[in-house]
Amino acid sequence: MELLVIVLNKTELLTELLDGFIEKGISGATVIDSSGIGHLVADHIPFFSQFIDFGSEDKNHSKTIFMVVSCVEERNLAVKNVEEVLGDITEPDSAFLFSVPVNFVKGISSDKCGVCK
């Protein structure tokens, strides 16, 4: 099992991203509002605010998605969905993601995946 964390800067694509997970049989995501340190600093130190792009009111907010996936195949399918919806995530202000091993889980089934056999 792994914890997949996706920080989505293109928040307008959240619904499409979540719909893609559901269509691919991936469920169990938690979404929270988040902000990067650059925007938090800019809010408190006016000098730094001149370096922030004010093109959108949502530029200083992102969505962070947490997903416990059961296997490498499910993680890869989730990553593929992110890339299908967002395109090249190496572009600035799109998204980034990472996974870490999960050693202990209580409260969810460890065999919840329909992708893993």
Q: If you search the block for the tokens 């293109």, which residue do you land on?
A: 10
- Per the CB < 8 A criterion, the answer to whether 97 and 4 are in contact is yes
Range of the domain at 14: 2-101
- Is 84 within a domain? yes
Residue with tokens 């299908």: 84
**pLDDT confidence band for 74 (50 / 70 / 90):** very high
Q: For residue 60, is it within any domain?
A: yes
Task: Count how many domains the chain has.
Answer: 1
Model-level pTM?
A: 0.79
What pLDDT shows up at residue 92?
87
Q: pLDDT tens digits, residue range 12-47? A: 999 999 999 999 999 899 999 998 766 555 556 665
On whether residue 76 sits in a domain, the answer given is yes
* 46 part of a folded domain: yes
